[in-house]
């Protein structure tokens, strides 16, 4: 087995065995630093304590549970809460990142290519790299899921978007400075989208009555 495939398979198995149910608003972020594993050092056992439920705050919120540095770069995991009828990002794809979703509560609606599928609580969904996708909550109930990221510390991208690119930190909405940082992050993390991605997003909003 190729090394990359071995790492991906091992990371997914570890994630499946270890995880239990435990416009965008940022909440649930812990200010406590997460432990990390030095390069070329073996990983140590890890216990993640139970946390209070993540509040979507009427929109979407994230909370990092496993940092890439805690697993020698094997994988990371982020919890996401989405209010009813809330749309996710514009359709996009990743050059290097593979994503695995576990739905904990509610139903996740996912655009994969040109098909919309619905994943209910307890279901898993793998989104390999290079396939156009997005997600949203088309239901009248809150959505809670865990996203697991392989081959990239994608939690760093999300934390930057959700918690740091705001007016308080010198990134006013609609400013060139904020748009430039978005472009830098998309290039760094290999996020790609078609020229009509926003039109595709708006079509999903209209079709499913989203906000």
| Coil, helix or strand at residue 191 | strand
End-to-end CA distance of the chain: 44
The whole-number pLDDT of residue 42 equals 79
Give the CATH number, domain containing residue 76. Answer: 2.60.120.10
Domain membership flag for residue 45 = no
Pairwise CA distance, residues 135 & 130, whole Å: 16
Domain membership flag for residue 141 = yes
> In what order do the strands lie in the sheet containing 143-150?
60-66, 75-82, 143-150, 98-105, 124-127
pLDDT in tens, 47-65: 999 999 999 999 999 999 9
Domain membership flag for residue 40 = no
Predicted TM-score (pTM) of the model is 0.80
**Whether pLDDT at 39 is above 70:** no
Pairwise CA distance, residues 183 & 192, whole Å: 10
Domain membership flag for residue 41 = no
Domain membership flag for residue 42 = no
Can you tell me the mean pLDDT for 166-179? 95
Domain membership flag for residue 39 = no
Domain membership flag for residue 35 = no
Q: Classify strands 60-66 and 191-192 as parallel, antiparallel or unpaired.
A: unpaired
- % of the chain residues with pLDDT over 70: 81
| CB 128, CB 94: distance < 8 Å | no
For 113, the domain range is 3-28+52-208
Pairwise CA distance, residues 149 & 128, whole Å: 10
Domain membership flag for residue 127 = yes
What is the rounded average pLDDT for all residues in the chain?
A: 86
**Whether pLDDT at 94 is above 90:** yes
């Amino acid at each position: 087995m190729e090394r990359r495939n071995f790492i991906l398979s091992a990371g997914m198995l570890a994630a499946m065995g270890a995880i239990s149910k435990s416009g965008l608003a940022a909440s649930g972020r812990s200010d406590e630093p997460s432990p990390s594993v030095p390069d070329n050092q073996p990983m140590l056992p890890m216990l993640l304590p139970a946390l209070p439920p993540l509040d979507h705050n009427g929109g979407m919120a994230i909370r990092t549970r496993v940092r890439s540095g805690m697993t020698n770069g094997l994988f990371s995991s982020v919890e996401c809460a989405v209010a009813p009828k809330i749309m996710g990002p514009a359709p996009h794809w990743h050059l290097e990142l593979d994503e695995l979703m576990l739905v904990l509560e509610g139903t996740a609606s996912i655009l994969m290519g040109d098909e919309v599928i619905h994943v209910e609580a307890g279901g898993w969904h793998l989104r390999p790299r290079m396939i156009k996708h997005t997600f949203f909550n088309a239901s009248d109930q809150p959505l809670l899921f865990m996203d697991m990221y392989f081959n990239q510390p994608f939690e760093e991208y999300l934390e930057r978007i959700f918690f740091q690119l705001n007016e308080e930190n010198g990134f006013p909405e609609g400013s060139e400075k904020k748009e430039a940082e978005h472009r830098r992050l998309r290039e760094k993390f290999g996020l790609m989208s078609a020229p009509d991605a926003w039109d595709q997003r708006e079509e999903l909003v209209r079709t499913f009555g989203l906000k």
